[in-house]
């Protein structure tokens, strides 16, 4: 070695050291080596209940550090609903938390899959948050009544109420004229939210509508082919645009209640093109309460909840308003009668408030008496803070020179001067 250059001597020494180090390394992971064992994973207890109750229970257990119970619940959910994306996300989080702490839902998926679109994770977080928010709100509103359901018509057995702010659909039964909550479900609304104005704006409408028909899955398959899967178990069209929408030049069509694609258990809170979407399982449950041509579907920006005494006062005030309008009309008091109409009024025929005033004043001049009877009255409220009333009734009008019966609808708007009629005409459904 004395003849080797210095760099060669250093290289030979380094090789000898590496060989010795390799030989001294313990082989801890060989199957025959009993000096290393894995700690068995703790077996948890899966929670029971419906799918939403179980997903929320899993989130609660994660927050409380009960990881085994959370894993058991999520695994049970995914065994039943393998396409439940929120449950898949929680499973990814539970695996990731074995190696690192997480500070947000979906942190595990974000850490282990950097290519996952942030919009997908954001949508799933939103779904979790709106479900959690509903549970918290539900505890405060369980014994309250919705301001949106004011008066049921005698033949209306149920009403559907959608709270766009919480992605929630409620089914209310007509229990002796009072709304009784019997079911509620998570729903999906338009990708860009609510207050639909034009065709293709990807918003859900706000207002009072009615179920018009039922499109079965075989009917959808025949019409749309493979695209029918978007609607899941079936679709129940609603009457958008309603009479007021058309008078305000709102456009669009094909707004339905419908199910979800087979490959997706539940979609993000804002993911439709304007329809109101449920899981297939829950759409089937809700469908049993839908009567085409009769069941109202009220889509509100936020539901206003009232105590029973507040609700009764609200109902009495709405009925009194309608009675006052009828009385002024019967009394041929044109000036007082026309005070019920707002400056933005449009009739079914397109008359402005000026034309309406002229016509009604001229008609009443030729009357000596008039009698108006209203029956089968329904009143529902929509808009921010229940600021819009939709009154529908069977009208029997008789006077000295005219008799007329019709199904009529009035749209009222609350403003600085109180309630004003902004549309009047025959009810189209």
Does 118 share its domain with 266?
no
For residue 169, what are the β-bridge partners? 162, 185
Does 231 share its domain with 298?
yes
pLDDT at 17: 42
For residue 145, what are the β-bridge partners? 306
Which of these three, 261, 280, 306, is where a domain ends? 306
Q: In sequence order, what E strands does 176-278 have? A: 178-186, 189-190, 207-210, 215-216, 234-237, 256-258, 270-272, 276-277
Does 157 share its domain with 301?
yes
Q: Are strands 305-306 and 145-146 parallel, antiparallel or unpaired?
A: antiparallel
The C-alpha atoms of residue 73 and residue 91 are separated, in whole angstroms, by 10
In a domain, residue 391? The reply is yes
In a domain, residue 44? The reply is no
C-beta neighbour count of 91 within 10 angstroms: 20
Phi, psi of 258 (to 5 degrees): -155, 170
Does 312 share its domain with 299?
no
In a domain, residue 82? The reply is yes
Polymer length of the chain: 429
Does 162 share its domain with 245?
yes
Does 315 share its domain with 291?
no
In a domain, residue 196? The reply is yes
Show Cβ contacts of residue 32 under 8 Å, excluding neighbours closer than 6 positions. Answer: none
pLDDT at 95: 85
In a domain, residue 25? The reply is no
pLDDT at 99: 76
Among residues 226, 219, 222, the alpha carbon closest in space to that of 256 is found at 219
Domain CATH number, residue 300: 2.40.440.10
Does 315 share its domain with 296?
no
Q: What kind and span of H or E run contains 146?
A: strand 145-146
Tokens of 157: 């057995």
Show Cβ contacts of residue 103 under 8 Å, excluding neighbours closer than 6 positions. Answer: none
Which of these three, 306, 321, 349, is where a domain ends? 306
Does 180 share its domain with 204?
yes
The C-alpha atoms of residue 11 and residue 38 are separated, in whole angstroms, by 40
Q: What pTM was estimated for this model as a whole?
A: 0.87
| Regions of the chain short of the pLDDT cut 70 | 1-41, 109-117
Domain CATH number, residue 358: 3.10.450.50
In a domain, residue 400? The reply is yes
Does 245 share its domain with 260?
yes
Q: Name the catalytic one among 19, 214, 253, 258.
A: 258
The C-alpha atoms of residue 252 and residue 312 are separated, in whole angstroms, by 36
Does 204 share its domain with 236?
yes
Q: Is 134 a catalytic residue?
A: no
Number of domains, the chain = 3
The C-alpha atoms of residue 121 and residue 116 are separated, in whole angstroms, by 8
CB of 108 within 8 A of CB of 96? yes
Does 332 share its domain with 354?
yes
In a domain, residue 43? The reply is no
Q: Name the catalytic one among 134, 185, 214, 275.
A: 275
Helix (H, G, I), strand (E, B) or coil at 380: strand
Q: Is 13 a catalytic residue?
A: no
Tokens of 344: 């933005």
Sheet holding 256-258, edge to edge: 215-216, 234-237, 256-258, 276-277
In a domain, residue 32? The reply is no
pLDDT at 110: 63
Which of these three, 82, 105, 138, is where a domain ends? 138
Give residue-wise pLDDT tens across range 211-251: 999 999 999 999 999 999 999 999 999 999 999 999 999 99
For residue 161, what are the β-bridge partners? 170, 298
Does 314 share its domain with 296?
no
Q: Which domain holds residue 70?
A: 51-138
Phi, psi of 148 (to 5 degrees): -75, -25
């Amino acid at each position: 070695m004395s003849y080797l250059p210095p760099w060669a001597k250093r290289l030979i020494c380094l090789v000898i050291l590496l060989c010795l180090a390799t030989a001294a390394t313990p082989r801890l992971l060989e199957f025959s080596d009993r000096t290393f064992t894995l700690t068995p994973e703790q077996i948890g207890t899966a929670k029971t209940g419906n799918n939403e109750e179980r997903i929320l229970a899993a989130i609660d257990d994660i927050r409380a550090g009960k990881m085994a119970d959370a894993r058991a619940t999520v695994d049970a959910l995914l065994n039943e609903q393998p396409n439940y994306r929120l449950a898949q996300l929680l499973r990814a989080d539970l695996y990731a938390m074995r190696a690192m702490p997480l500070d947000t839902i979906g942190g595990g998926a974000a850490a282990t899959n950097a290519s996952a679109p942030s919009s997908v994770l954001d949508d799933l977080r939103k779904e979790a948050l709106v479900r959690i928010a509903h549970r918290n709100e539900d505890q405060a509103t369980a014994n309250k009544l919705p301001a949106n359901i004011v008066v049921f018509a005698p033949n209306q057995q149920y009403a559907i109420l959608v709270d766009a702010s919480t992605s929630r659909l409620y089914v209310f039964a007509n229990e002796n004229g009072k709304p009784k909550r019997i079911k509620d479900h998570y729903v999906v609304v338009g990708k860009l939210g609510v207050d639909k104005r034009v065709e293709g704006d990807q918003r859900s409408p706000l207002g009072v509508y009615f179920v018009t028909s039922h499109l079965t899955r075989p009917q959808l398959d025949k019409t749309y082919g493979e695209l029918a899967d978007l609607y899941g178990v079936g679709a129940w069209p609603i009457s958008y645009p309603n009479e007021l929408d058309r008078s305000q030049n709102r456009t669009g069509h094909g707004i339905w209640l419908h199910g979800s694609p087979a490959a997706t258990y539940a979609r993000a809170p804002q993911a439709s093109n304007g329809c109101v979407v449920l899981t297939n399982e829950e759409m089937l449950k809700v469908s049993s309460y839908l009567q085409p041509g009769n069941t109202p579907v009220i889509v509100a920006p936020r539901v206003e909840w009232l105590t029973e005494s507040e609700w009764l006062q609200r109902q009495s005030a709405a009925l009194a308003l309608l009675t006052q309008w009828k009385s002024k009309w019967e009394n041929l008091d044109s000036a007082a009668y026309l005070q019920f109409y707002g400056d933005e009024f449009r009739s079914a025929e397109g008359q402005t408030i000026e034309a309406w005033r002229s016509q009604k004043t001229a008609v009443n001049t030729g009357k000596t008496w008039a009698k108006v009877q209203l029956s089968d009255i329904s009143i529902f409220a929509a808009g921010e803070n229940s600021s819009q009333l939709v009154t529908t009734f069977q009208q029997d009008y008789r006077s000295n020179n005219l008799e007329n019966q019709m199904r009529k609808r009035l749209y009222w708007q609350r403003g600085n001067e109180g309630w004003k009629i902004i549309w009047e005409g025959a009810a189209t459904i």
